[in-house]
Every structure is written in structure tokens, then in C-alpha cells.
Amino acid sequence: MSSQIARLLRKQQTPAEKLLWRWLRGWRFSHFKFRRQHPIGHHVLDFYCCKARLNIELDSGGHNDPAQELRDKERDEFLKAQGILVLRFPNLSLLKNPDGVRLMICEALHERTSGQQQD
């Protein structure tokens, strides 16, 4: 079921998701491999780097709804228990401040992999 949802989400990307995927795909971002709409458990992660155990979530306006905020919090706690760090950015933040978002992602990747042997 999660893989079917992931496939559907890949086809229905927002402009912010398309931009971020252009940065991340094909080892383009600091030589880290990312997976788009990657299923883990019963969750589908927006952009996941297995090596850094880092998930990047882009949130639309619907994530301001209290019920959605609760689901996001529960999901983030589940992922944290799995050793996965979640970086959350509103779509608008990515579009208005792409350099700031890129810097935060880069810093998180390098912090999470410092001391690991590079492939």
C-alpha cells in the first residue's frame, strides 16, 4: 500500500518538491543519495537519505491544521525512534530562501555523517 501511495505522490509534486528533487536527485547534493517518496513502516517520507538517516519534509499550508500537526508530530516521533532526523520546511520557505534551506540540509547531512567513511 505504501509503495502505491509513494508512486502517486511522485506524480503529484508541488513546485517546491520539484525544485528540491532537482537539487537532490542523482547524487547531486554533496554526493549524498536521496530517495523520493520513500516508504518506511506505514509512512512515506518526502526525501530520504539512508546514509545520513535524514528525512526532508516539505509542508504545504495544510500542515497548519491542528489535526495534521498532531499527525506530523507523531510521525516525527516514530522516525526519531528509528534514528531518523526530520527537517521540515514550509514550501514557501524553500521558494523564498532556497540558499538558507540548502545550507541547513548540507549542515545536517555533514553532521549526521561526520566520522563515517565516504563511499
For residue range 31-81, what is the model confidence (pLDDT) as tens digits? 899 999 899 988 889 999 999 999 999 988 655 677 888 988 999 999 999
Indicate the domain borders of the chain.
2-113
User: What confidence score (pLDDT) does residue 6 get?
Assistant: 47
DSSP E strands in the chain: the ranges are 35-40, 43-49, 54-59, 85-90
Diameter of the chain measured on Cα atoms = 42
Task: Give percent of the chain with pLDDT exceeding 70.
Answer: 84
User: What confidence score (pLDDT) does residue 69 get?
Assistant: 87
Is pLDDT of 117 > 60? no
Q: What is the spatial order of strands in the sheet that 85-90 belongs to?
A: 35-40, 43-49, 54-59, 85-90
As a whole number, mean pLDDT of residues 72-94 equals: 94
Cα dihedral 111, 29, 105, 46 sign = negative
Confirm or reject CATH 3.40.960.10 for domain 2-113, answering yes or no: yes
- Kindly give, in sequence order, each residue whose CB lies less than 8 Å from that of residue 40, ignoring residues fewer than 6 positions away: 48, 79, 82, 84
Task: Look over the chain and give the mean of its residue pLDDT values, rounded to a whole number.
Answer: 86
